[in-house]
A = this chain, B = another copy of it.
Amino acid sequence: MLEKFDFKLHKTKSEVLRVDDALGRITCKSVYAKISSPYFNASAMDGIAVISKKTFGADERNPIILKLNQDFIYVDTGDAIKNPFDSVIMIEDVIYVDKKQVQINKASSPWQHIRPIGEDIVASEQIVPSHHKISPFDIASLLCGGITEIEVIKKPLIAILPTGTEIIEAEDKIEEGKIIDSNSRMFIAMTKKIGAKANRYKPIIDDYELIKERIVDATKDNDIVVVIAGTSAGREDYISSIIRELGEVIVHGIAIKPGKPAIIGLVNNKPIIGVPGYPVSAYVVFKQIVEPLIAEYLRAKEPKKEIIKAILYRRLVSSLKHLEFVRMKLGNVSGKLIATPLNRGAGVTMSLVKADGVAIIDKETEGIEAGEIIKVELLKDIDVINNTIVSIGSHDVIMDLIGSLIIEKHKKYSLSSAHVGSLGGIMATKRGETHIAPIHLLDEKTGTYNTEHIKKYLKNQNISLIKGVKREQGLMLAKENPKNIEGLNDLMNDDIMFVNRQKGSGTRILLDYKIKELGLDSTKISGYEREMTTHMMVASAVSSGSADAGLGIKSAATAMGLEFIPVGEEEYDFAINDKFLEEERIKIFIDVLKSDAFADELKKLEGYRIENAGSISKL
C-alpha cells in the first residue's frame, strides 16, 4: 500500500538509553563489545590449577606428586587461572596425599578445563548489528560485553486528532446525537503496541479554522499526524481541504473497504493521514497505512502477517471496486478450518472483538461461494482457534455464560458462538461445520421440541441431543406497557409496531406457529418484515421505542428492563454429531452444563429452568 508514496522519512532520530530500558527497541548501528567475556581465563571445573609442563610424563606407573602453592592451587569453577598456572585437573582425578601434596596419574594438557578469555565475546566483536530489535538475551550479551548504554531509534511521536461536533469522551454523559470517541483511544493502544508514542489531542468540533490551527500545531512537534474525521459522509472533504490549503494531498480515497475515504497528505513535510470516523474503517486505515509508516520510521522489519487457509462457511458477495477486509470467526471442526463472515458494517466494533481473522477479498472478485477456500490473516493465535468449541445456531445470552465457565474450567478451551438461527445450526451440523448447534425448534404436529427437526433434516447422520435449558418465550413490551398489549392478538392492531426475528430462527417459527394457532394473518402485523438477529436486538428496539412489541426470551426482557407476557416455555438444546462426543473440549462443555456453577448462574437470570442439563440422548 505504502510503496507508492515517498515520504522522505530520513530524519529518524536516535536516543541513548540504559541497556535495561532498551528491550524491544531498534539499534541505530552495530554495537561492539568493550570488554571480553569471560574477562579472564577461568576454571571450568572444581579441581586444581597446575603448570602443565610439570605434569608431563605422569601415568598410572609413574605418578607425579605436586606441591600446594608451588605446583598447584585449589580452584572452584569460575576462579581465575593466572600465570604460571595454565591447566586444570578435575578434583575427581586428584589423589589426596596430605595437606600440602596431591598425586596425579595423568598428564594435563595446556589449557584443559579452562574457559578462555573471550569464549563468549571477544572485546571489539560485534554483539548486535544495526537495525536490530533488542531481546532479553541481547541485553545479557550487551552487559557481558561491557555495554551499559545503547543508542536506539527514538520512538516516533504520533499525533492523534479526533474531530467532530458530535464527539464526546467516554467519561462524559452520553445523550442522543452524541458519539463516544473510541477511535483515538484505540489508536493510542495500536501506536503503543507497535512501539511508537501516542500524543492524543482532545476532541474538537467541526470548525475549519480550529481544525486547521490544530493540524499546523500538531505537525510541529510530532512525526506523523493522524486526523480522525467524523462519521458524517463528506466530512473527510473538509479535512482534505484543510490539508490542501496547508500542504499537499497525495491521495484522497483508497480502494479498500472499509476505509475508502482515507486521505494521505503532507503538511510541513510531515505525513498526515485523514482517517474515516467509522471504527472499523478507522482500524483498517490505521493498520494498512499508519502502522507500515511507523514501521518504516522505526526501520523495523514489517510486522509479520500470519495467513492461513480456511473454508468459507457462507457465500460472500463482494465489491468489484475495492480490496475488502472481511472479519471472520474461525473454527476447527474435524481438522477443517471453517471461516464464518461477521457483520461487515463499518460501525460494528464488536465484529473486530469477535474476529479470529480477517479475510482479504481482492478487487475484481464478484463474490466467493460457500465451501471455497479463502485466505485469512490471523488476529488470534491458531492454537487458540484450534481449541475453540464451535457453536453455530440459535442465540441465547447463556452462551456467553457457558463460554466463561468453560475458560474457568480449562483455560486452554473457549467457546465461539455464531448466531444464524436454529435451522441455520441444523444445516451447519449437516455440513459438518460446527461442533454443536443450539436449537429450539417446535414441531407443529407433535408439539415437541428439536427431535423431529433433527430426524427430518439429519436423518442419515449419527446425531445426539445434549439437553440444555427450558426457557420462557414471550412478548417484550415497553416499561409499564403503555399500549396495554395483552397478547399476540393485539399485534393485529394498526397502532402496534412489532419487531420480528429472522427467518429460520426458532423464535420466528414459534411466532408463526402461535399466530396460525390463533388464526391471525401475519401480513396484517405492522413491522412483521423488520428482522433482527438476536433477542437483545429485539429488546433494544422495544426499549428505544422504535417498536412496541417483539417476541423473545425473558432474560433479554429483564436485561433491558422491559415488561414481559409469557407465550410459552420451550426447550433450548444442543444438536451434536456423535463423533465429537469423545473430544475433551465437548466433555468440558457437557461438564459445565451439569455443573452447580451453571445452575447457580442461571438462577441469577430470569426465565430459565434446568432439567437434566448435559444429559445426552441418541437420536
Chain A interface (Cβ within 8 Å of chain B)?
19-20, 23-24, 29-30, 35-41, 45-46, 76-80, 82-83, 86, 109-111, 115-131, 135-141, 143-144, 146-148, 166, 170-171, 174-183, 185-190, 192-193, 230-234, 277, 279, 283, 299-302, 304, 345, 347-350, 352-353, 379, 381-384, 397, 400-401, 403-404, 407-408, 411-412, 414, 497, 526-527, 529-530, 532, 534, 536-537, 539-541, 543-546, 559-560
- A38-B347, A77-B232, A78-B230 are known; give 17 further A-B pairs, CB within 8 A: A20-B189, A23-B193, A41-B546, A78-B179, A78-B277, A79-B177, A115-B345, A116-B546, A117-B540, A117-B541, A122-B537, A123-B560, A136-B186, A139-B182, A141-B349, A141-B353, A143-B180
**7 closest Cβ pairs, A-B complex:** A118-B540, A136-B189, A137-B352, A140-B186, A124-B559, A140-B182, A122-B536
17 contacts between A and B (CB under 8 A): A39-B179, A40-B176, A40-B544, A80-B177, A86-B546, A110-B497, A116-B546, A118-B536, A123-B560, A129-B404, A137-B283, A137-B349, A139-B182, A141-B182, A144-B180, A301-B411, A304-B383
Q: Which residue on B lies nearest to A406, using beta carbons?
A: B129
Residues A231 and B78 in contact, CB atoms below 8 Å apart: yes
Give Cα distance in the complex from A29 to B29, angstroms.
45
If A143-B180, A182-B140, A383-B301 touch, does A119 touch B400 (CB 8 Å cutoff)? Answer: no
Copies held by the complex: 2
Cβ contact of A180, chosen from B37, B76, B187, B414, cutoff 8 A: B37
Q: Which residue on B lies nearest to A400, using beta carbons?
A: B126
Cβ contact of A299, chosen from B116, B118, B411, B560, cutoff 8 A: B411
If A141-B353, A176-B80 touch, does A23 touch B192 (CB 8 Å cutoff)? Answer: yes
Residues of B within 8 A of A300 (CB): 411
Give Cα distance in the complex from A182 to B127, angstroms.
14
Give Cα distance in the complex from A137 to B534, angstroms.
22
If A30-B400, A46-B234, A127-B353 touch, does A20 touch B188 (CB 8 Å cutoff)? Answer: yes
Classify the interface of chain A: helix, strand, loop or mixed.
loop
Residues of B within 8 A of A166 (CB): 78
Residues of B within 8 A of A412 (CB): 301-302
Give Cα distance in the complex from A196 to B454, angstroms.
50
Q: Which residue on B lies nearest to A399, using beta carbons?
A: B126
Give Cα distance in the complex from A395 to B87, angstroms.
28
Residues A143 and B299 in contact, CB atoms below 8 Å apart: no
Residues of B within 8 A of A185 (CB): 19-20, 139-140, 143
Give Cα distance in the complex from A242 to B111, angstroms.
35
Residues of B within 8 A of A353 (CB): 127-128, 135, 137-138, 141
Residues A231 and B77 in contact, CB atoms below 8 Å apart: yes
Residues B140 and A279 in contact, CB atoms below 8 Å apart: yes
Q: Which residue on B lies nearest to A186, using beta carbons?
A: B140
Residues of B within 8 A of A407 (CB): 129-131
Residues B347 and A136 in contact, CB atoms below 8 Å apart: no
Residues of B within 8 A of A283 (CB): 136-137, 140
Residues of B within 8 A of A186 (CB): 136-137, 139-140
Residues of B within 8 A of A543 (CB): 117
Residues A384 and B546 in contact, CB atoms below 8 Å apart: no
If A125-B536, A304-B381, A381-B301 touch, does A404 touch B110 (CB 8 Å cutoff)? Answer: no
Cβ contact of A121, chosen from B136, B349, B401, B404, cutoff 8 A: B349
Give Cα distance in the complex from A115 to B141, angstroms.
57
If A23-B193, A39-B176, A77-B233 touch, does A182 touch B136 (CB 8 Å cutoff)? Answer: no
Shortest distance between the CB of A136 and any CB in chain B (Å): 4
Give Cα distance in the complex from A190 to B134, angstroms.
12
Cβ contact of A540, chosen from B123, B192, B497, cutoff 8 A: B123
Give Cα distance in the complex from A560 to B120, angstroms.
16
Give Cα distance in the complex from A197 to B38, angstroms.
30
Shortest distance between the CB of A238 and any CB in chain B (Å): 12
Give Cα distance in the complex from A115 to B139, angstroms.
52
Q: Which residue on B lies nearest to A170, using beta carbons?
A: B143
Question: Which of A175, A193, A350, A532 is packed against the most chain B CB atoms within 10 Å?
Answer: A350
Give Cα distance in the complex from A397 to B33, angstroms.
13
Residues B83 and A545 in contact, CB atoms below 8 Å apart: yes
Residues of B within 8 A of A233 (CB): 45-46, 76-77
Residues of B within 8 A of A560 (CB): 122-124
Residues A537 and B116 in contact, CB atoms below 8 Å apart: yes
Residues of B within 8 A of A39 (CB): 174-176, 178-179
If A120-B347, A407-B131 touch, does A111 touch B546 (CB 8 Å cutoff)? Answer: yes
Residues A349 and B144 in contact, CB atoms below 8 Å apart: yes
Give Cα distance in the complex from A144 to B352, angstroms.
13
Shortest distance between the CB of A531 and any CB in chain B (Å): 10
Shortest distance between the CB of A187 and any CB in chain B (Å): 8
Give Cα distance in the complex from A304 to B378, angstroms.
14
Residues of B within 8 A of A40 (CB): 176-177, 544
Residues of B within 8 A of A23 (CB): 189, 192-193
Residues of B within 8 A of A128 (CB): 353
Q: Which residue on B lies nearest to A40, using beta carbons?
A: B176
Q: Which residue on B lies nearest to A125, using beta carbons?
A: B536
Residues of B within 8 A of A171 (CB): 148
